[in-house]
């Protein structure tokens, strides 16, 4: 809810009239869902529907799907998913749009929340949708084995080689 309020205010201040803000979770079905709000960093970092370990509080929010939000008039060419372990749920709720529009999908994979089974399921799901998994820093295709071995999976600054995850999150 705090992030939504900031978004609405930024859209107003910047006179952005081509954005439809939704205060809703994006998942695999339409329902009400518990959302664990983390207090780390003050901006909801690590807040999630699947990660209760860092929750400062829990709220009940409506959930919908990308397929439900995107009508015939909305055909995304790019979708970014950073959902702290709910990535596969979101992809499941976007299969019609993915099949019809073939958007670029940028998915930050959070294996620390889903474990090897969850990451394996996501890789299999994406391959079943005829998508390749690539490292966006190098644009090289990676395999599930690469991901688990942490080879080619770090986002490094292409000029300096600096590990961006360490710089941004101290990890």
| SS3 label, residue 64 | strand
Give whichever of 82-91, 147-156, 162-171 has the largest mean pLDDT: 82-91
HSE of 93 in the Cβ direction (CA atoms, 13 Å)? 20
Question: pLDDT (tens digit, 9 = 90+) per residue, 40-61?
Answer: 665 566 677 876 555 578 889 9
Confidence of residue 165 (pLDDT cuts 50, 70, 90): low
C-beta atoms surrounding 154 within 10 Å: 13
User: How far is residue 119's CA from residue 58's CA, in Å, rounded to a whole number?
Assistant: 25
Give the N- to C-terminal CA distance of the chain in Å, as an integer: 27
Q: What is the pLDDT of residues 104-142, one digit of tens each?
A: 999 988 777 777 888 899 999 999 999 988 887 778 888
Distance (Å, rounded) from C-alpha 114 to C-alpha 37? 18
Global pTM reads 0.80
């Amino acid at each position: 809810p705090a992030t939504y309020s900031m978004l609405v205010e930024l859209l107003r201040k910047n006179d952005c009239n081509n954005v439809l803000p939704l205060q809703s979770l994006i998942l695999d079905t339409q329902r009400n869902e518990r959302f664990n709000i983390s207090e780390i960093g003050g901006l909801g970092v690590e807040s999630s529907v699947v990660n209760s370990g860092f929750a400062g509080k829990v709220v009940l929010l409506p959930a919908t799907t990308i397929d439900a939000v995107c009508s015939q008039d909305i055909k995304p060419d790019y979708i970014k998913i950073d959902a702290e372990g709910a990535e596969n749920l979101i992809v499941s709720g976007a299969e019609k749009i993915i099949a019809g529009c073939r958007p670029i999908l940028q998915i930050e994979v959070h294996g620390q929340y889903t474990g090897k089974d969850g990451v394996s399921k996501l890789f299999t799901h994406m391959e079943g949708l005829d998508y390749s998994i690539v490292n966006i820093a190098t644009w090289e295709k990676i395999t599930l084995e690469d991901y688990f071995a942490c080879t080619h999976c770090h986002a490094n600054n292409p000029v300096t080689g600096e590990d961006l995850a360490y710089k941004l999150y101290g990890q």
